[in-house]
A and B are shown apart, each in its own frame.
Chain A
């Protein structure tokens, strides 16, 4: 069964999702409330600073909402379940862990620039992920959740909810894959919470088909003394428009915000980040790298917000773009909003440029043909992020996805 959406969803359609899955009253109410929010928060007009670079005119609003969501493939390291770790699709979690989900789902707003889409996903999700790590539990190994979409021309707004309680430790990789072809709308959002002293590594690998519009939002809360690394690897889609908020709300928290973007053809990637330094002694370092082929274009609009009255925060944002074709383009825009006097460090760096011809020549004189030389240089360019991916599973998956875009033959080509 599918829900037809003439232009966008309506309240009835949202109700039919609850009917279809025979949802409890609290969830029915939750969806209705978020639908009101979505309705009351109009979609971006294109005048907003964050939306000037991506037009939604051709967003396939009429795409059919995906109801028969293929099973989420999950991998939970052995022994983790016995310690109360949960990794399951969100609908199963509603059934099996209703209290935990009710307590965590949709309790907060997402990135302000993506408020409409955040609310839409909270109201219209038909799939998603629930990951829960109890207090004091450290999970060895990598949690993996992979969603494959059955077709290209659907709308899908999954919600990923990750809760790592106090003093827990977890490494999670989420992946989404869809076929090439017609335009589709992937509106997945992620709500990631690291409690006090938690250690969280969260990587999202996006390999959507070449017709997909990825309008995504991610909100990461870093608790007191927590250490969080996020990685967004965007290698698919026609349009990627991602809003990412990293909220340093707990004193002494640390975040590393990593991004790998590889795009070709007419792909457009537009990332809006906010590093919100809202507590004393917090550290947040962002590094986004993009390799752009053909006519691909990447925009990066990143805000560092050092809140009034905070002490001794440390932050940096760096965005580097490698242009591999004269038609490729990049627009990195860092913004620093500093309202505090006592800061340790707050800086930014942004570059966009082609491979230096002399470097290319240098590699060619060593016997590598022009393509192989370029591949090696691009692969080396990404190493600045790849070397920070300590989890082997994540590193391998990301490199394999990158190889399909940048053409590297094997993952050991550089790392030998």
Chain B
């Protein structure tokens, strides 16, 4: 089985509202994809659905990762299979330090507790040794050029927008996922913060990792170059292409896409969209 994330005919509702309406997308390990779309097109819904948010109800379609049905799994199991979501709005966890959180999530993914640890054969579960973890964390923090004092702060509590995004990147660098979904990682960042976050992404990228960058604007793509660009409109991928597509979008806006695919300007609802113009 190839190492690919295959999303096929995905339909998702939240409450009574249908948000994704037959979304198709394939991302392979080692590839960087950008998924662009206007507000309300379903970008974050896709990210949440891929990770198993309980409020997002899948009504049709499939999602597989390395041939395995992802939709049947809880979020933690998806993470243990190598998926990672960098949140647009990461949650604060008061009282839990960054260092302890990183160690917990590293252990959850790379040193899961044996399910049947019992009896005389069981040894006390400790996960990664503290010293080894410290070293790993210091490496990753220096890779992302982060102040070591960051480690002692509580997760996202009182963080600026830029700090939150950097912590998402630090988590990604620490757990080294094989498929990372970055949801609006560029939003709310000034240019310096954007550059440093992008550096973090580039430093973490490898041929072992697939990336799906979800973004509203093109500016992030100046720093992290995608091989593939897709346009999400009204719950579907309506257009796909190479990096040049992002520049066309930047120049012409989403109404240009609507025009290209024959949708009325500024709408998308109640219209049966055609097949995607291009796909790979």
Task: Let me know if A367 and B105 touch, CB within 8 A.
Answer: yes
A112-120, A353-361, A390-398 - interface stretch? A353-361
Give complex CA distance A216, B45 in Å: 52
Among A364-412, those with CB < 8 Å from B are: 364-370, 372-373, 376-377, 379-384, 386-387, 409, 412
Give complex CA distance A235, B99 in Å: 28
| Residue on B nearest A386 in the bound complex, by CB | B95
Task: Let me know if B74 and A367 touch, CB within 8 A.
Answer: no
Give complex CA distance A415, B93 in Å: 13
Asked if A416 is at the interface (CB within 8 A of a chain B CB), the reply is yes
Among B167-192, those with CB < 8 Å from A are: 171, 175
Give complex CA distance A416, B100 in Å: 5
Q: Which of B95, B108, B130 contacts A366 (CB 8 A)?
A: B108
Task: Let me know if A380 and B95 touch, CB within 8 A.
Answer: yes
Asked if A363 is at the interface (CB within 8 A of a chain B CB), the reply is yes
Task: Let me know if A376 and B96 touch, CB within 8 A.
Answer: yes
Asked if A414 is at the interface (CB within 8 A of a chain B CB), the reply is yes
> Which A residues are in CB contact (< 8 Å) with B51?
361, 365
Task: Let me know if A364 and B104 touch, CB within 8 A.
Answer: no
| A358: min CB distance to chain B, Å | 6
| B131: min CB distance to chain A, Å | 11
Give complex CA distance A361, B183 in Å: 15
> Which A residues are in CB contact (< 8 Å) with B109?
366-367
Chain B 132-148 interface 0/1 with A at a Cβ cutoff of 8 Å (1 = within): 01000000000000000
Task: Let me know if A366 and B100 touch, CB within 8 A.
Answer: no
Chain B 111-127 interface 0/1 with A at a Cβ cutoff of 8 Å (1 = within): 01000000000000100
| Residue on A nearest B109 in the bound complex, by CB | A367
Chain B 88-103 interface 0/1 with A at a Cβ cutoff of 8 Å (1 = within): 0011111111011101
Give complex CA distance A376, B52 in Å: 20
Give complex CA distance A363, B105 in Å: 8
> Which B residues are in CB contact (< 8 Å) with A415?
97, 100
Task: Let me know if A364 and B74 touch, CB within 8 A.
Answer: yes
Asked if A71 is at the interface (CB within 8 A of a chain B CB), the reply is no
Task: Let me know if B175 and A367 touch, CB within 8 A.
Answer: yes
Give complex CA distance A367, B85 in Å: 11
Give complex CA distance A362, B105 in Å: 11
Task: Let me know if A380 and B96 touch, CB within 8 A.
Answer: yes
Task: Let me know if B79 and A366 touch, CB within 8 A.
Answer: yes
Asked if B78 is at the interface (CB within 8 A of a chain A CB), the reply is yes
Asked if B53 is at the interface (CB within 8 A of a chain A CB), the reply is yes
Give complex CA distance A359, B74 in Å: 15
Give complex CA distance A163, B252 in Å: 79
In the complex with contacts A367-B175, A370-B74, A383-B95 CB distance below 8 A: yes
Give complex CA distance A366, B92 in Å: 14
Among A367, A368, A379: residue with most chain B CB under 10 A? A367
Asked if B259 is at the interface (CB within 8 A of a chain A CB), the reply is no
Asked if B75 is at the interface (CB within 8 A of a chain A CB), the reply is yes
Task: Let me know if A416 and B103 touch, CB within 8 A.
Answer: yes
| Residue on B nearest A381 in the bound complex, by CB | B95
Task: Let me know if B79 and A365 touch, CB within 8 A.
Answer: yes
| Residue on A nearest B55 in the bound complex, by CB | A357
Give complex CA distance A359, B100 in Å: 16
21 contacts between A and B (CB under 8 A): A361-B48, A361-B54, A363-B93, A365-B52, A365-B75, A365-B87, A366-B76, A366-B105, A367-B108, A370-B74, A372-B108, A373-B76, A377-B96, A379-B95, A382-B95, A383-B94, A387-B95, A413-B100, A413-B104, A416-B100, A416-B103
Known: A365-B52, A368-B104. 6 other contacts (CB 8 A): A356-B91, A362-B93, A367-B109, A381-B95, A412-B100, A414-B97
